[in-house]
Every structure is written in C-alpha cells, then in structure tokens.
Structure 1
Amino acid sequence: MPARPIHEPRRDDCPWCGSKRLRTRLRTPDLRLGRPGTFTVDACEDCAHTFQNPRLTPEGLALYGSTAAEEPADTRRLRAVARTVLRHVTEPESWLDVGTGEGRFPEAAREVFPYTSFDGLDPTARVVRARDAERVEEAHVGSLTDPRVLAGLRGRYDVVSMLHHLEHTRDPRHELWAARTALRPGGLLLLELPDPASASADLLGKWWPSYDQPRHLHLIPLPNLRAELAAQGWHVLGTDRRAAHVPRDLTAATALYLTRKGFLAPAAPLLTLARAADHTLSPAARRTRFANAYRVIARKENGR
C-alpha cells in the first residue's frame, strides 16, 4: 500500500475570504527540527490572512510535530495572562485549557485562581502527564472539534483558553465554534496568537520564530479574528498587543540561524547579546508594529 501524502493539493484561493489574490510570503525548510522538505507560506492580498500552502495533511502534521518540544514556561508571564480574566470574572468554577501540552498554563493560573478546577485538552499524551503531575484535574486527548471529545465537554466551562493554539489547527473557525459549545452561557474565551502584521515578520523573514514552519498552518490578522468572533455571536471584551508581546524574536531567530549554519562554538555570546537586545527593545516594541502577538478575550452571550 502506498504511503499517504503529507501535503494536500496546493490551493489557489484564500481559506479565510476566498480571494484568489495570493502572494508567496516565504519558502523555508523546517528550521527548528531540521526535517527534510520545503514549505511555502502565502498571504492573501485582500484580507491579509497568512497560511501554509500547500497545507500538511493530518499525517504530515503528525510527522512534523510529533517531537516538537515545548518551550520553557515563563511562569510569571503565564500568571499575568491568567489575570486578564480577573477583569471579567472573580473566580471561575471550571476552566478548559485547549492545546495545554504539559499543563504549564493551568499550573501557573492556579496560583491566581486557587479554587478553580482546571482541565486540559491536547492532541498528544502530554496532557496525561500533566494530569499525573496534578497540573490539570481532567486530561482529554484529542481535538476540541472531534464530536466524540466535544460531546463530553458541552456546556461545562466558565472559561476556555487557547494560547498559541489556533495557528496549529486546520480549521480555526471550527475551533471557535467548538469553544462556544464547551462554554456555559456568559462564559469567556481567552485567545493569544502570533500577529502576522508584526514588523518583525518582515524584518526577520523565514527566521521569525512565529512562522514556525511546518507546524503553523494559519496566521490570522487581528481584524479578521474580530470579525469572525462577531459573526459567531461572541462579544469581544478586549484586545491587547502590548501585554501579549514576548521579547524573544531576536533570540529565537539567532538560535535558529546559528543552528542551521552549524555555528555552535560562538553561539552563547551571540545569544546573550540577542537576548539583551530583545529585553532592552521590548518596551518600545510593545507599543509599535514590532509587537509579535495579540490577545483577545470574548464572551459567549447568554442564549446564543
């Protein structure tokens, strides 16, 4: 039996708005894991949606993402993300973290919400390890859009978080609908995504870490996401680029470049300089187009 293809056919229209006015934004190998292949990222000239084209099949995603390690957790930052919810609810009873991995976000968020029950969902068995380490109470392996998974989560949660999750999914719109199903009326959705409009993407090109090919399938501009949330009946309570910015672009790009070129011996001093530059420039970057991510919090309206 022939092996199943790892790429779908290349598409000639935008998966977000249907426009055929596409341009190639970059072509790149797998810089992070070094696996073979070249991947193309296109952008729509009408709505600015940025996406992998041709897209990996589920088999391709399993192949390229199966050994991708999590980045070290910044517990202080994760607590700050959790506090975003405090403006809208004092103590959620139940919270589902989608794409939770090892459960580092629920672990940090529990320091802010000690009486909240945190569950985790992830396509890998990492969420089971998170449960065994008592970072989450319930571990759900699979996809939120899988009807068999979603049936057991329907209407159970006061908060659903998706932190740097949507860019990995094949159908972000479907993920948002599934989050509505998992939430109780009036529940909150907390999102964080890389911003394809960031000036760092243009400056660093394929070395911009948030391109992360071939694992990131969709990079969604904030206006597009806001419009989709409104169309689905969410009430957007707030958006934030400043707080969502992570000062790592120069550091990660330098690490990718040095690893790709095989410059291992002088890496430490260069990475130290890059890290210092990221943190020195961070206050200015947060207030300009160099902010590399954005955060959205939205409410599921009662009765909808």
Structure 2
Amino acid sequence: MTASSLPETDPVAARRPQYQADIAAGLDRFFEPRRDDCPWCGGTRLTTRLRTVDLLQHKPGRFELSQCADCRHIFQNPRLSLAGLEFYYRDCYDGLGEKQMADMFEGNSANLKDRASLLTKHHAAKRWLDVGTGHGHFCRAAAEALPDTEFHGLDMSAGVELAAEHGWITRGFRGNFPEMTAELAGNYDVLSMFHYLEHTLDPKAELAAAAEVLAPGGYLVIELPDPECKWGRVLGKYWMPWLQPQHLNLMPIANLRAAAEEVGFTVVDEQRGEPHSAMDMAAAAMLWSNRFIGGDDVPWQPKPPSGLRKLLRKASMVLTVPMMVLAFIGDQLIAPWGRKHGWSNAYRVLLTRN
C-alpha cells in the first residue's frame, strides 16, 4: 500500500507498521559503502567535516559529511542508498511533511520572487523550466512578477503534479532530469535549479543534462547552500543548510563554476550576498529545541507519546519562544553586515549555454 492510498483518519497510525518493519530490517541497507575518494575530483585526502543525526524529522540513523582537502567538496559519506533515499525522503516534502513544507515556502515568498532577479537583469524569459520544482512555489511567486513567462516544472515527487493541478505551472514533468533530456531538449530558453543540486546523486550529470536541454544562448540559473558560509562553523550540526540526510553534495562556488564550464556553459553573473536568508540562528534554535523537547507523534517511533509527554512538549515549546524571538532578531540585525563578510548561507550563479 502506498502512502497516497493510506486512510487519512489517522495518518500517523496508518504509516507506523511500515516504518517499524523498515527499521526492524536494519538501517545498514540504507547506506552505500563508505568512499575513500572524493566524488567530485577523485582526491583521497578526506577529513570528517560533520557527524550528526536527523535533526528535522528525527528518523533513526547517523550521518557523516566528508570534505576533500584538494577541491573542498563536501559530501555525505557513506551516502544513502536508493532504499535510504526512499526511507528518509518519505513524508518529508510530501505526506505527513507536506503542510509544514508548504507553510515554510508560503512564508518565504519574497525570497522566491528574488530568485528570478539575477536572470531578469540579462534576459526576458519566454519559457522557463524549473528543475526540482517541488510543489511549484517558485513558479507561482515568479509568475506574479513575470506574467509573460510560461513556467514548467520537473520533479521526482508527486508535488509537481499538484503544482500543475493548482495552476502554478503550465506543465509538469515527473521523473529523473538526466533521463528526460531527449523529451525536453529545445523547448526552453531558461532552466533553473534552486536548492536542487545538493539533493542529487551526481550534480555533474545534472549540469550535463542542462547543457543538452538548452540551445546555445539559453540560460541556466542555480542557487545552492554555500558551504563556505561562516555560520556552518559557528553553528555546527545545527546549521540548517547541512540538512542531513537529504543533502548529499555541497559545492563551493568555484567548483560549480568549473564543472559548468566543462560541459559548455559560461558564467554571466553571480551573487554571494543577495541570496542570503536571514534565518541561521532561528533555524538552529528550532532544530536544537525540537531535538531535546521531543514528544511529537511520528510513525518511525514505535508508539505514540503519552499524554504527559505531549503536555510537556507543549509547555517546553512555550518556554522556548523567547529564545526563538531573540534568535530571529539577531538574524535580522546581523544579515546586512553578514552578506558582505562571508556569512551568506547561499549563492546564485547565472550561466549561458555556449
């Protein structure tokens, strides 16, 4: 039975047997063998950058990020297997996690609109394909500012179909982008990958696919978490952009530029400070408090929390409100200075196909 066909009278209870069976079968199958070399450059001088747990959903498992001393690429090691990707993505962006993610995007509409700004300084888009569109929130926001642009979306999840049903995209494609290049080639003058490449198994293959789809003169705009951001050192595992276990690869901007140029792109423009979302301390406070408060009813726990545990969770959440408010204020105060001094948590690059 798939998650979409489960009875929704008690969606947590309905999902619990499958999750408990998955966990009982062992977590080792959710990981590939550990790598001794960098997937980006092949270098063998690897160090451990981070060890953590799932701080967002609190599913079981431990995760590690390795960093290459030669090219500075950061990658999950050992990486999730296909079974692991299915397990840890389940009910994160869809299903039980759909409303939480939708609320997050709805509250970030200004940033979503701003993502198009790097392109619009150079080109008036006619037909735009957003790769990794999720539920189409970017396309919905950008269409308000670009009414003459036709937006299409592509994603692996059912969210792209919902986006089409809502009318947020004119057309939706569901599948693996590199496997769909023949179907998509020649149809777009703009492609975007916003917070997408870090989720992919092979970012270089995704860039090569974009080069196949775009005709010469077409544009590709990319936004990624910036692993060189100083917040990553200060906040450690509570820095939200590490986002384990979903983020498989984190590329310094120089690596992205070089890889794109290798497959036929030229860098037109880039932004290091403008994409920054002033949320690092607030997000860290949220992750920390949720980890230690616990008590939420989730199907990967063997049984629901007791009434007392639920009450304690509510009381604890109230007590953390002042901390969250202070963290939010701190983010807003630091952001203008931080954008100029290496504290931006994201970057954007605009490329054109040669």
Q: Which TM class, normalised by the smaller chain length?
A: over 0.9
Kindly state the Cα deviation for residue 84 of structure 1 after the two structures are TM-superposed: 1.7
- The one of 27, 38, 47 aligned to 1:14: 38
Secondary structure of the residue aligned to 1:203 is helix
> Which contiguous aligned blocks of 4+ residues in structure 1 show a shift greater than 4 angstroms?
none
Matches within 5 A, 1:35-184: 35-69=59-93, 70=101, 71-73=104-106, 74-90=108-124, 92-146=125-179, 149-184=180-215
2:161 maps to a residue whose letter is V
- Structure 2: distance between partners of 1:248 and 1:182: 35
Kindly state the Cα deviation for residue 184 of structure 1 after the two structures are TM-superposed: 2.4
Q: Within the alignment, does 1:288 sit opposite 2:341 as a pair?
A: yes
Kindly state the Cα deviation for residue 180 of structure 1 after the two structures are TM-superposed: 1.4
- Structure 2: distance between partners of 1:48 and 1:241: 18
CA shift digits 1:170-214 (9 cap, x unpaired): 000000111112212211001000011111000011000000000
- Structure 2: distance between partners of 1:123 and 1:282: 34
- Structure 2: distance between partners of 1:162 and 1:266: 39
TM-score, normalising length: structure 2 = 0.82
Kindly state the Cα deviation for residue 5 of structure 1 after the two structures are TM-superposed: 1.9
**Would you say the 8 A contact 2:219–2:352 is kept in 1?**
yes
- Structure 1: distance between partners of 2:238 and 2:156: 27
Kindly state the Cα deviation for residue 117 of structure 1 after the two structures are TM-superposed: 1.1
- Structure 2: distance between partners of 1:195 and 1:238: 16
- Structure 2: distance between partners of 1:83 and 1:19: 36
- Structure 1: distance between partners of 2:320 and 2:143: 36
- Structure 2: distance between partners of 1:19 and 1:259: 37
CA shift digits 1:144-184 (9 cap, x unpaired): 012xx322111211100000000000000000111112212
Secondary structure of the residue aligned to 1:177 is helix
2:218 maps to a residue whose letter is G
- Structure 1: distance between partners of 2:164 and 2:320: 36
1:138 maps to a residue whose letter is R
**Would you say the 8 A contact 1:195–1:221 is kept in 2?**
yes
- Structure 1: distance between partners of 2:188 and 2:83: 31
Structure number with the higher strand fraction is 1
2:113 maps to a residue whose letter is R
2:271 maps to a residue whose letter is D
- Structure 2: distance between partners of 1:183 and 1:275: 40
Comparing 156-165 with 265-274, greater Cα deviation is found at 265-274
Q: Within the alignment, does 1:265 sit opposite 2:298 as a pair?
A: no
**Would you say the 8 A contact 1:194–1:293 is kept in 2?**
yes
The alignment covers a number of residue pairs equal to 297
Structure number with the higher helix fraction is 2
TM-score, normalising length: structure 1 = 0.95
**Would you say the 8 A contact 1:207–1:256 is kept in 2?**
yes
- Structure 2: distance between partners of 1:72 and 1:256: 18
Kindly state the Cα deviation for residue 284 of structure 1 after the two structures are TM-superposed: 0.8
- Structure 2: distance between partners of 1:72 and 1:159: 22
- The one of 247, 259, 265 aligned to 1:228: 259
Equivalent position of 1:25 in the other structure: 49
Q: Within the alignment, does 1:250 sit opposite 2:303 as a pair?
A: no
- Structure 2: distance between partners of 1:182 and 1:94: 13
**Would you say the 8 A contact 2:118–2:269 is kept in 1?**
no
Matches within 5 A, 1:178-197: 178-197=209-228
Kindly state the Cα deviation for residue 46 of structure 1 after the two structures are TM-superposed: 1.1
Kindly state the Cα deviation for residue 236 of structure 1 after the two structures are TM-superposed: 0.3
**Would you say the 8 A contact 2:231–2:343 is kept in 1?**
yes
2:91 maps to a residue whose letter is T
What are structure 1's unaligned runs of at least 5 residues?
none
Secondary structure of the residue aligned to 2:212 is helix
**Would you say the 8 A contact 1:83–1:112 is kept in 2?**
no
Structure having the higher Rg: 2
What are structure 2's unaligned runs of at least 5 residues?
1-24, 94-100, 294-315
Percent identity over the alignment is: 42
Equivalent position of 1:208 in the other structure: 239
- Structure 2: distance between partners of 1:83 and 1:26: 33
Kindly state the Cα deviation for residue 281 of structure 1 after the two structures are TM-superposed: 0.6
